């Protein structure tokens, strides 16, 4: 993956190139992205540039041995950690490679499907942390950098996070940590504080997206618009009607996807309200909501949405979940 193959996030790409060219690379970088935002692609392009033997023009050559190995995700000094069910990430590395090489802009749901664990709870376990530390205790096989890409560090349990904290805080020489998160507020604070945080703008897919996916995103947008319009006009009956339509989504996965979609919109509302609108690619609806709701609302809404996702995972009746969600949002907007 080269920087030239990634659309958008020009400032992020320039910052990453400058880090390598200037020899001022933070030992740990955390990419904060919306689901499917392209942070994994950026992380891989950064690693390819870092390892490239013939970099030029602010990009990797894509032809040297290091570039070839990284493009196939088989470089022996680069390790991948991601949440799984029933084992460690290393047990699923073949599935990971197949997914990422085919589509580095994948979503969390697409990863679950590729690993065969869709609909199941996944985590980064102590065993993952132990395997990684064991690998980092050995010398780099090719004599350069060793790197670790951790996808969704918010899914590390407390023991695993504590186990990795010292390595992230004081990594061995020439060891690079890259973390990709969808919820930085859920990552252990002591880990977040050791990382250089980079916000990744959403990757807009113009090709390779099925009509079904585009239709789903459009449907979520319409449902959220109806819900927010009812909430802002203080129409409880209208908000409950919108909640009824949301609860009728056909599966647990689509219900969770709606919650994630809405949480990202609330994060955009929060950033606009904090005077950080340049960090988001907000549409007219988001800007309107930011101007109309309380400044405390986005955080409350994200917490309520997180609770709704957890209840969906536990197979609670969707009508109860989304009626409760509407009530919570109505009281706080």
How much is the pLDDT for 210?
45
For residue 82, give the CATH number of its domain.
3.40.50.300
The reply to whether 224 falls in a domain is yes
The reply to whether 191 falls in a domain is yes
Same domain, 165 and 225: no
Domain boundary among 168, 199, 230: 199
* Overall domain count for the chain: 2
How much is the pLDDT for 267?
87
Rounded mean pLDDT for each run of 10 residues along the chain, 333 residues in total:
89 94 94 89 96 93 95 95 94 95 89 87 93 90 91 93 90 92 89 91 55 68 94 95 94 88 90 82 86 94 92 92 96 91
The reply to whether 104 falls in a domain is yes
Which residues form the domain of 314?
211-332
The reply to whether 85 falls in a domain is yes
80, 93 Cβ separation under 8 angstroms: yes
Same domain, 141 and 244: no
The reply to whether 280 falls in a domain is yes
How much is the pLDDT for 203?
63
Same domain, 170 and 300: no
The Cα 38–Cα 43 span in angstroms is 9
The reply to whether 206 falls in a domain is no
Domain boundary among 148, 176, 199: 199
Same domain, 164 and 290: no
How much is the pLDDT for 209?
45
Same domain, 27 and 125: yes
pTM of the model: 0.72
Same domain, 184 and 229: no
For residue 280, give the CATH number of its domain.
1.20.272
How much is the pLDDT for 205?
52
Same domain, 30 and 148: yes
Domain boundary among 147, 172, 199: 199
264, 120 Cβ separation under 8 angstroms: no
Same domain, 172 and 220: no
The reply to whether 20 falls in a domain is yes
Alpha carbon of residue 188 to chain centroid: 15
Same domain, 215 and 82: no
Same domain, 234 and 139: no
3-state secondary structure the chain: CCHHHCCCCHHHHHHHHHHHHHCCCCCEEEEECCCCCCHHHHHHHHHHHHHCCCCECCECCCCCHHHHHHHCCCCCCEEEECCECCCCHHHHHHHHHHHHHHCCCCCHHHHHHHHCCCCCCCEECHHHHHHHHHHHCCCCCCCCCEEEEEECHHHECHHHHHHHHHHHHCCCCCEEEEEEECCHHHCCHHHHCCCEEEECCCCCCCCCCCHHHHHHHHHHHHHHHHHHHHHHCCCHHHHHHHHHHHHCCCCHHHHHHHHHHHHHHHHHHHHHHCCCHHHCCCCHHHHHHHHHCCCCHHHHHHHHHHHHHHHHHCCCCHHHHHHHHHHHHHHHC
The closest alpha carbon to 38, from 192, 206, 268, belongs to 206
Same domain, 175 and 242: no
The closest alpha carbon to 325, from 242, 257, 214, 216, belongs to 242
b/e sequence 56-67, b meaning 16+ C-beta within 10 Å: eeebbbbebebb
The reply to whether 205 falls in a domain is no
Same domain, 45 and 180: yes
């Amino acid at each position: 993956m080269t920087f030239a193959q990634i659309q958008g996030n020009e400032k992020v790409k320039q910052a990453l190139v400058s880090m390598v060219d200037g020899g001022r690379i933070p030992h740990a970088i955390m990419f904060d992205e919306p689901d499917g935002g392209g942070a994994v692609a950026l992380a891989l392009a950064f690693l390819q540039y870092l390892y490239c033997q013939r970099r030029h023009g602010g990009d990797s050559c894509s032809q040297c041995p290091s570039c070839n190995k990284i493009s196939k995700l088989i470089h022996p000094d680069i390790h991948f950690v991601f949440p799984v069910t029933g084992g460690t990430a290393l047990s699923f590395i073949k599935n990971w490679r197949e997914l990422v090489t085919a589509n580095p802009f994948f979503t969390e749901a697409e990863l679950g499907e590729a690993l065969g664990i869709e609909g199941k709870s996944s985590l980064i376990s102590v065993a993952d942390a132990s395997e990684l530390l064991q690998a980092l205790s050995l010398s780099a096989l090719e004599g350069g950098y060793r790197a670790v890409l951790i996808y969704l560090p918010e899914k590390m349990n407390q023991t695993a996070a504590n186990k990795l904290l010292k390595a992230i805080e004081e990594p061995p020489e020439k060891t690079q940590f890259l973390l990709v998160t969808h919820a930085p507020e859920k990552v252990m604070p002591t880990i977040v504080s050791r990382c250089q945080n980079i916000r990744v703008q959403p990757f807009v897919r113009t090709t390779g997206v099925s009509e079904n996916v585009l239709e789903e995103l459009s449907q979520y947008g319409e449902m959220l618009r109806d819900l927010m319009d009812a909430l802002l006009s203080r129409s409880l009956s209208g908000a409950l009607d919108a909640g009824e339509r949301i609860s009728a989504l056909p599966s647990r996965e689509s219900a969770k996807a709606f919650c994630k979609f809405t949480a990202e919109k609330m994060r955009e509302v929060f950033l606009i309200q904090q005077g950080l609108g340049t960090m988001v690619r907000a549409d007219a609806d988001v800007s309107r909501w930011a101007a109309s709701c309380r400044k405390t609302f986005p955080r409350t809404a994200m917490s309520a949405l997180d609770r709704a996702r957890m209840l969906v995972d536990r197979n609670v009746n969707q009508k109860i979940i989304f009626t409760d969600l509407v009530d919570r949002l109505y009281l706080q907007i």
